[in-house]
Amino acid sequence: EPEVTQTPSHQVTQMGQEVILRCVPISNHLYFYWYRQILGQKVEFLVSFYNNEISEKSEIFDDQFSVERPDGSNFTLKIRSTKLEDSAMYFCATSGLAVQETQYFGPGTRLLVL
């Protein structure tokens, strides 16, 4: 069964450093999303991406965050200058074309900012 994959599974970084989280979507999916979950808290929407542009972003997704699909397969989330409060699980999700299409989540990247 097709699945979303994410790398790395864990990332430890120093405050102020840049990190790039990578996702490989399910092959025929065209909508891509990033969510995050701070330990013990809700899953929070960050951004949705379709046709090589951002469809919607949350207030969390400020200028420190960016997304791109650099090579037609990977979907990346970049955090330019990490802060302590960026420590969380980051989940990539993908869905097909229909507006109500279900979203399938990848296994996540656990980011720890020291």
Partner 1 sequence: QKEVEQNSGPLSVPEGAIASLNCTYSDRGSQSFFWYRQYSGKSPELIMFIYSNGDKEDGRFTAQLNKASQYVSLLIRDSQPSDSATYLCAVNISGGYNKLIFGAGTRLAVHP
Least distance (Å) between residue 102 CB and partner 1: 5
**Cβ contact 24:109 at 8 Å:** no
Q: x/- string (CB under 8 A) for partner 1, residues 5-44?
A: --------------------------x-x-x-----xxxx
* CA–centroid distance for 32 within its chain: 8
**Cβ contact 47:69 at 8 Å:** no
107 binds partner 1 (CB under 8 A): yes
Place of tokens 């809700």: 42
52 Cβ neighbours under 8 A, 6+ residues apart: 69
Least distance (Å) between residue 68 CB and partner 1: 17
Pick from 21, 108, 111, 113 the residue near partner 1 by CB under 8 A: 108
Least distance (Å) between residue 106 CB and partner 1: 6
Distances (CA, A) of 62 to 4, 26, 78, 103: 25, 27, 11, 23
101 binds partner 1 (CB under 8 A): yes
Interaction site with partner 1 (CB under 8 A) = 31, 33, 35, 41-45, 48, 50, 55-56, 58, 89, 91, 95, 99-108
